[in-house]
Amino acid sequence: MQARIPTVPERLPLRARWDNFQRRYAPYIFISPFFILFAIFGLFPIVFSLYLSFHAWQPASGLGSMTFVGWRNFTDNLTDPTFWQSLKNTGIIALESGIPQHLIAIPLAFAINMSLKRVQGLVTALYFLPYITSVVAIAVIFVTIFSWQYGVLNVVLTSLHSLPLIGGLFPAENINWLGNRNFIQPAVASVVVWRYVGWNVVLYLSGLQAIPRDLYEAASVDGASVWQQFRYITLPLLRPIMFVAITLTLIGNLQLFEEPYIIAGDSGGIGNMALTTVMYMYRTYNFYSDAGLAAAMSWLLFILIGALTFLNNRIFGKSRLSGSD
């Protein structure tokens, strides 16, 4: 941030006055596009959706058919077993994909941080690749990999089963990943993990690289073991970035739509097990064309996201970010 430099000359000729006028209003004009667009496509829709959530409305039958129904959309959602199931699915997939993401990303970031400078950029880029790939493409590839009878994954797993010692860890039979109620959620979650590990690696790597090396050197001179160095230097200093990464995962995972939608389709997969809340909202709007119900659902989800983010802040975010502005 620069200090403000007040420039107030003593007397102003006409030309300078015009310049001042122009200078005073130019910045407002330059930033106005954002505020105009946000008003039309951001603020208005949100206010409208709040209004809508208290009304029953089939969009196809025109604005005139909107009728006020009070809290009924909310109570309808909260008494709808499918809505609760979608929340449960979202939560389970969020945990099954969220926790492994970070448990894998942190060691990988460590390993990259240890390796030679030359390869760091290359390896990081490689891990980041899934993040910049179209979700549709990813999901389509994984559907073939997960295929029950002919999928690469099952072939690998069942062949590992015949290994000595660790063979017992692997299934003897092909797993019907996408057609079995118990396996579709882990299947979707693992696609999410695969996609986001690299993203988290980059975040953690930047956190690790910000830790001054001489801290470790000083600690090892004082006789701290490697574990103690990790416990008392790395972990505390990684905490702010961990908080950011976990917050982003939380918010993103609660709004999961694309991966389960492509893998399981409109139907939400076997027994609706891969139906996330955003998918159900889309279904409510698009197929049941009940805009009010869908709007109420989005607000319920919003409240849930807000509450969980707040909890996460209280538990985890005590040390606020040291603003690097």
Partner 1 sequence: MAVAYSSAPNTARRSIGKPLSRGAALALLVLGALLTVLPFYFMFVFATHSRGEIFNLPPPTWFGHNLTTNYDSLLGRVPFWRNLWNSLYLAVLSTVTTLFFCSLAGFAFAMYNFRFRDQLFAMVLATLLIPGALNIVPFALIMQAFGWIDSPRALWVPGMASAFGIFLMRQYIGSAIPKELVEAARIDGDSEFGIYRRIVLPLCGPALATLGLVTFINSWNNFLGPLIIFRSVETYTAPLALRTLQGLVNTDWGALMCGVALTVVPLLVVFAFASRQLIEGLTSGALKG
- Measured in degrees and rounded to the nearest 5, phi and psi for residue 55 equal -130, 155
Among 12, 78, 95, 152, binds partner 1 (CB under 8 A): 152
Residue 271: DSSP 8-state? G
Is 238 a binder of partner 1 (CB under 8 A)?
no
What is the token pair recorded at 91?
């939560």
- Apex CA 243: angle with CA 241 and CA 244, to 5°? 65
Q: How far apart are CA 229 and CA 212, in angstroms?
A: 13
User: Which residue of 229, 239, 270, 312 would you call a contact of partner 1, by CB under 8 A?
Assistant: 229
13 binds partner 1 (CB under 8 A): no
**Nearest-angstrom CA–CA distance, 278 and 261:** 10
Q: Classify 55 as helix, strand or coil.
A: strand
The residue ranges of DSSP E strands in 49-117, in sequence order, are: 55-56, 67-68
Residue keyed to tokens 């959530």: 53
Start-to-end C-alpha separation, the chain: 8
Q: Is 100 in the site for partner 1 (CB under 8 A)?
A: yes
Residue from 11, 118, 213, 314 that binds partner 1 (CB under 8 A)?
A: 213
Figure out which of the listed residues 82, 85, 113, 180 binds partner 1, where binding follows CB under 8 A.
113
> CB-wise, 195 or 272, nearer to partner 1?
195
* Interface with partner 1 (CB under 8 A), residue from 78, 95, 140, 218: 140
DSSP 8-state secondary structure symbol assigned to residue 4: P
159-178: contacts with partner 1 (CB under 8 A): none
Regarding 121 and contact with partner 1 (CB under 8 A), the answer is yes
CA–CA gap between residue 21 and residue 288 (Å, rounded): 55
Site for partner 1 in 59-78 (CB under 8 A): 59
Closest CA to 256 of 306, 165, 191, 312: 191
Q: Considering the complex, what minimum distance in angstroms separates the CB of residue 306 from partner 1? A: 9
Q: In angstroms, what is the minimal distance from the CB of 313 to partner 1?
A: 12
Considering only residues 180 to 199 of the shown chain, the ones binding partner 1 according to CB under 8 A are: 190, 193-194, 197-199
Instruction: Candidates 89, 147, 176, 185: give the one binding partner 1 (CB under 8 A).
Output: 147
Beta strands in the chain (DSSP E): 55-56, 67-68
User: Which of 50, 43, 47, 48 is CA-nearest to residue 73?
Assistant: 50
Contact between 45 and partner 1 by CB under 8 A: the answer reads yes
| Residue 242 interacting with partner 1 (CB under 8 A) | no
Among positions 80, 82, 91, 123, the unique one binding partner 1 when judged by CB under 8 A: 123
- Indicate which single residue of 56, 237, 251, 308 sits in contact with partner 1 (rule: CB under 8 A): 251
Residue of 55, 175, 178, 258 that binds partner 1 (CB under 8 A)? 258
